[in-house]
Chains A and B, each alone.
Chain A
Amino acid sequence: NAGVTQTPKFQVLKTGQSMTLQCAQDMNHNSMYWYRQDPGMGLRLIYYSASEGTTDKGEVPNGYNVSRLNKREFSLRLESAAPSQTSVYFCASRRGEQPQHFGDGTRLSIL
């Protein structure tokens, strides 16, 4: 999935710890998105940013915050991690009406 880079690829946290997931795209896309993927649930939208300087809640925003640092970067922060936030997190980006492009994901386990 060239173009959308997520770091880290894997992370293990203890309950209550904080963590920022990083996402960067080099395709000059305006919109960026954070999803979580859980078994049998498909992809659920956490937050999105339609353009630089704006962010909006998605379907499952509780427990998360985001920052659209600039046009390239969109980070997702867990202030106090909970076991229910164990998941695979995907960042995506899009230009105009084009389909979204996804990164390879961050696999997060919270003990």
Chain B
Amino acid sequence: GQQLNQSPQSMFIQEGEDVSMNCTSSSIFNTWLWYKQDPGEGPVLLIALYKAGELTSNGRLTAQFGITRKDSFLNISASIPSDVGIYFCAARRSGGSNYKLTFGKGTLLTVNP
């Protein structure tokens, strides 16, 4: 089946550092999404990308939809303690199976104050 390879699996950084994580696949997708999950809660959408090459920002977060449509990355600048959580990439194809999202396994981010 379709798989998203998300890396790194975990990161431990100091407050103020920048963070980068990415997702790759052997399949082409038409939508890439980035979610954040805080402990004990459900995933919350951070950024949605709908066009190959698209670069979108949401505050300190920036994400890009890869030109090949097989990858995406998420950057967080000047990290703060509340950035702690699990970050998931997700992707969707258009057409008959467009109701389904494929998820990466997540990146656990820890920020040391």
Tell whether B84 is near chain A: CB-to-CB under 8 Å: no
- 0/1 interface trace, chain A 17-61, chain B, CB 8 Å (1 if under): 000000000000001010000001111110010100000101100
What separation, in Å, do the CA atoms of A44 and B2 have in the docked complex?
A: 12
Name the A residues within 8 Å of B105 (CB-CB).
40-42
Tell whether A100 is near chain B: CB-to-CB under 8 Å: yes
From A64-72, A76-84, A102-110, give the one contacting chain B.
Answer: A102-110
Contacting residue for B1 out of A43, A59, A94, A97, CB 8 A: A59
Tell whether B63 is near chain A: CB-to-CB under 8 Å: no
Residue of B nearest to A32 (CB): B99
What separation, in Å, do the CA atoms of A40 and B19 have in the docked complex?
A: 21
What separation, in Å, do the CA atoms of A12 and B87 have in the docked complex?
A: 28
Name the B residues within 8 Å of A94 (CB-CB).
99
Interface size on B, residues (CB 8 A): 22
Main SS class of interface, B: loop
Tell whether B113 is near chain A: CB-to-CB under 8 Å: no
Residue of A nearest to B42 (CB): A102
What separation, in Å, do the CA atoms of A59 and B101 have in the docked complex?
A: 11
B105 to chain A, nearest CB (A): 4
B83 to chain A, nearest CB (A): 19
Question: In the complex, are the beta carbons of A104 and B99 less than 8 A apart?
Answer: no
Name the B residues within 8 Å of A104 (CB-CB).
40-42
Question: In the complex, are the beta carbons of B88 and A45 less than 8 A apart?
Answer: no
- 0/1 interface trace, chain B 33-61, chain A, CB 8 Å (1 if under): 10100001111110010000000000000
A residues bordering B, Cβ < 8 Å? Answer: 1, 4, 31, 33, 40-45, 48, 50, 56, 58-59, 90, 92, 94, 97, 99-105
B residues bordering A, Cβ < 8 Å? Answer: 1, 6, 31, 33, 35, 40-45, 48, 88, 90, 98-101, 103-106
